[in-house]
Amino acid sequence: MNDSKDLGEIHTPVLLDRVVELVSPTLEAQGSIYVDCTLGMGGHAAAVLRACPNARLIGFDRDAEAIAIASKRLAAFGDRVQTVHAVYDEFADRLDDLDVDEVDAVFFDLGVSSLQLDEAERGFSYMQDAPLDMRMNRSEGITAAELIAELSETELRDLFYRYGDEKLAPRYARAIVAARGVSSIDTTGQLVDILQDATPAAKRNAGHPAKRVFQALRIRVNGELDALESALPQALARTRVGGRVVVESYQSLEDRFVKRTFSEVTESRAPRDLPFIPDNLQPEFRLLTRGAEQAPAEEADLNPRAKPVRLRAVEKIRSHAA
């Protein structure tokens, strides 16, 4: 990334004002703790710290480059900032390491970051030719190229169905297996060409043929859904009464899980015919949003990455912890 560029020019945080509005009420006390589980380049974190001068930040990111950039951006906030180089499914363990029992607000901005999309060499974008990597943490894990080389045709088909909802999954899996039998598939450009050639002419105007396949590979490479399914319950459990959890999702698999989890914690566990609901069966959280909030048209027009966002938020109103 060119350090001379203004971060504001390359990174526009999605629904920034709304996120600040949702978390600010619970970050008024001195020493209140805001956890950003997806620190990225620090756009949301900087806005929250400016709006909440008594709060301190614990910022998670698995991407060392993102941590370095965010640390520079947030340097002006001094010791109010603590960064953690880790996947957010380590939420509880890392809070324990920091001797933090409860937090006041938690934010997840899911999916791939602007930094990862804009750096061609990371291999996330199907619009630029690059090594087929897709790892958010480039120091560990299997690459997308290795997945493409190792998975069977059936496994590739199932992967594209499950994480990409790709209707042409059988066709694409078959084409990939045939192509790798001739030569290895090492770059995004090679994969895009294979997918384009395998797409029926009648389907070629229905969006880029690589979009859902790249999404599926990225989710699998980084274990994104597994991490979310582990991290969100941890965040809810470690949020104090009066605290809030806010999640921005960008694809349906993520949003369905967030919706289901929030429904479970905001609904009473009492039988429907019970005349009186005891406190231990009352919900621990209440919804702060009606359904999933989307970016207004003006924002989506200015920042295309805001178009698919779905924001959901809850507030903890009681605790059933032993």
Report how far Cα 149 is from the mean position of its chain's Cα atoms: 26
Closest CA to 315 of 268, 226, 245: 245
Kindly give the confidence (pLDDT) of every residue in the chain, 322 residues in length, as a single tens digit, with 9 standing for 90 and above: 444 345 545 568 999 999 999 999 999 999 999 999 999 999 999 999 999 999 999 999 998 888 999 999 999 999 999 999 999 999 999 999 999 999 999 999 997 765 555 565 666 677 788 889 888 887 778 999 999 999 999 999 999 999 999 999 999 999 999 999 999 999 999 999 999 999 998 777 667 888 899 999 999 998 889 999 999 999 999 999 999 999 999 989 999 999 999 999 998 776 676 666 767 778 999 999 999 999 999 999 999 889 999 999 999 999 887 5
Residues of the chain with CATH 1.10.150.170: 139-222
Q: Rounded to whole angstroms, how far apart are CA atoms 35 and 95?
A: 10
Which phi and psi angles does 60 have, rounded to 5°?
-95, 140
- What are the strands of the beta sheet with 56-61, ordered from one edge? 81-85, 56-61, 33-36, 103-109, 239-249, 310-316, 285-287
- What stretch(es) of the chain map to CATH 3.40.50.150? 7-115+224-316
Inter-CA distances, 91 with 3, 257, 294, 311, Å: 30, 18, 27, 21
Q: Is 320 known to sit in a ligand binding site?
A: no
Please indicate if the annotation marks 101 as binding a ligand: no
280 by Cβ neighbours in 10 Å (0-12 / 13-18 / 19+) ranks as exposed
291 is in an annotated binding site: no
Q: Has 43 been labeled as part of a binding site? A: yes
Domain 7-115+224-316 has CATH 3.40.50.150: yes
- The pLDDT value recorded for residue 122 is 64
Q: Is 42 annotated as a binding residue?
A: yes
99: left (phi over 0), alpha (psi -120 to 50) or beta: left
Is the Cα dihedral 247, 251, 254, 255 positive or negative?
positive
Is 128 within any annotated ligand binding site? no
Is 208 annotated as ligand-binding?
no
Cα distance between residue 9 and residue 234, in whole Å: 34
Domain at 139-222, CATH homologous superfamily: Putative methyltransferase TM0872, insert domain (1.10.150.170)
